[in-house]
Structure 1
Amino acid sequence: MSKKRREIPVFDHPIIETHCHLDYLKDRPLEETLELSRGVNIEKVITIAVSPDNLASVRELTQAAPWIYGTQGIHPHDAESYSDEVDEEIRAHASDDKIVAIGEIGLDYFYDNADRNVQRQVFRHQLQIACDTDRPVVIHSRDADDDTIEILREFESTLSRRGVIHSFTSGPGLARYALDNGWCLGFNGITTFNKAENVRDIVRMTPIEQILLETDSPFLTPVPYRGRENAPFYLPFVAEKIAEVKSLDLEEVLEKTYNNSIRTFFPQR
């Protein structure tokens, strides 16, 4: 007989899902996913753009409900698809009412799906858009700590201090650089994985005032639902794990991470 999984906890305090990919979810209709997310007190959801193919679909998704928001940006995997037309599209919509950040942008030297020189060039282009539009950034960095720091340093004087290195799995050097510059670190279901002690070490060193909660769904489903497609409604498990790792009261984690999300993405709302 299979062991019954624990039910998803429902907290009185609202939670903001700061990073997911609603257009990638396949297991259930969007309406059902949103209903289940509201059922566990997810107050806002940010769905993330990653490629020229989904810039428009992310904008369309933000119209699915008043509490759905989005970003505009090109992931390093698709850096070689960046063009003047893509640049213009991101710029044209960076300040849309339901668009809250430039992202997901950055560097990925683990998969190397795009030439590294191209990745760096495209990262710089999009950081400039963020500077020009005073938008926060959602940064992806994998096996590229040194170059990520080097490029961010080029923009220190003009880049907003509102931003996040999401799904943080990098080393303490990049963590410290980001934290010292006022950015947040985003943590997700990886924090619950048995072999992710390196990520939990970063959670421990990160002030609760600089932590954001995310799922990165449909990827990285937290324990105890690993093996299923991830979704925003699993976010309470991430909140619980952050509280456990940092030895903090769960209510404090919920309140602080909520405030961090508002400060980063919704300062005027």
Structure 2
Amino acid sequence: MLIDSHVNLHAPQFDEDREAVIARAREAGVGLMVNICDKLANYEKNRAVAEAPDIWCTVGVHPHEARETPDLAPQTLVAIAADPRVVGIGECGLDFHYDLSPRDVQAEVFRAHCAAARETGLPLVVHTREADDLMGDILEDEHGQGPFSILMHCYTSGHALAARADRLGAWFSVSGIATFKAAEDVRDVIRQMPADRIIVETDCPYLAPIPHRGRRNEPAYIAHVLAKVAEIRGWTLEEAETRTASAFFDLFQRIPRPSGSVA
């Protein structure tokens, strides 16, 4: 079974053919998808997609959107996460490349997510771009106040932050960026990731892998990401599928592990 750990199926890019996109994913062998929340104003649309039995969702505020909820309280996230279809907290974090929200606001909103992950026991889905030092500092500080599971989503930062996150027991997800010709630095980090804590994602509609680069991304393309992970790590395709699926269920523990799967 293929698993896409990070989709944005509620995005407007899918408004014209959402059901067809989901059908193509299923036809391609994708058995599970996690639809990721980008801001609270979109949560209901995000959650509606997760009415399907093979699609789950998260609740959170992307750093680009942090300016809309600068006083976000952890309890707001905790209350929404009581819904059993919610399996993670996020996508949240720091993005100092675009700075679409003030950096201090990003940091405070991110800390609220950390507190919610700690209280709910759900994994924290982390976005980080050009903020490695502060990201490492906040994760270590918040984790020191009480542990929680961490997913470094679409990881493209360097070895230093990866090592800090690894010491906290973090998982790492690999996206279509790993297939890009110029992404050798990303592939080098993937070679060093903990073998039992690697999962895959499309981040659709963004970051379509080769041979679909430049087009709208879809969950049906996740097999290309999985094949690249297998190549980078020196695994067979079957081994890559088994390893990443096991890591996925180890992380997203609210999602039932299929009977007969490897624990």
Residue identity opposite 2:5 in structure 1: T
Is contact 2:73-2:112 (8 Å) kept? no
Partner residue of 1:117 out of 104, 111, 120: 104
Measured in 2, the distance between the counterparts of 1:88 and 1:45 equals 26
User: Does residue 243 of structure 2 align to residue 219 of structure 1?
Assistant: no
- Unmatched segments (≥5 aa) in structure 2: 257-263
RMSD: 1.6
The alpha carbon displacement at 1:85 in A equals 6.9
User: Does residue 251 of structure 2 align to residue 264 of structure 1?
Assistant: yes
Partner residue of 1:42 out of 25, 30, 37: 30
Report how many residues are paired: 254
Q: Which moved more, 1:170-179 or 1:233-242?
A: 170-179
Aligned to 1:197: 184
Q: TM-score, normalization: structure 2?
A: 0.92
Is contact 1:58-1:70 (8 Å) kept? yes
Measured in 2, the distance between the counterparts of 1:267 and 1:53 equals 24
Tell me the secondary structure at the aligned position of residue 155 of structure 1.
helix
User: Does residue 44 of structure 2 align to residue 56 of structure 1?
Assistant: yes
Measured in 2, the distance between the counterparts of 1:87 and 1:168 equals 25
Q: TM-score, normalization: structure 1?
A: 0.90
Q: Which moved more, 1:227-236 or 1:86-95?
A: 86-95
Tell me the secondary structure at the aligned position of residue 10 of structure 2.
helix
Partner residue of 2:138 out of 128, 151, 156: 151
Show CA shifts across 1:142-193 (max 9, x none). 0001101100111223132x33110111010111111222111111100000
Measured in 1, the distance between the counterparts of 2:73 and 2:194 equals 36
The alpha carbon displacement at 1:217 in A equals 0.5
Aligned to 1:30: 18
Aligned to 1:9: none
Show CA shifts across 1:92-116 (max 9, x none). 1112111000000100001001111
Q: 1:91 to 1:83 in 2, by over 3 A?
A: farther
Aligned to 1:234: 221
Q: Which moved more, 1:96-105 or 1:74-83?
A: 74-83
Tell me the secondary structure at the aligned position of residue 91 of structure 2.
strand
Tell me the secondary structure at the aligned position of residue 227 of structure 1.
coil
Identity %: 35
Measured in 1, the distance between the counterparts of 2:184 and 2:169 equals 24
Q: Which moved more, 1:172-181 or 1:227-236?
A: 172-181
- Unmatched segments (≥5 aa) in structure 1: 1-13
Is contact 2:74-2:115 (8 Å) kept? no
The alpha carbon displacement at 1:34 in A equals 1.2
Measured in 2, the distance between the counterparts of 1:86 and 1:151 equals 17
Measured in 2, the distance between the counterparts of 1:268 and 1:23 equals 20
Aligned to 1:98: 85
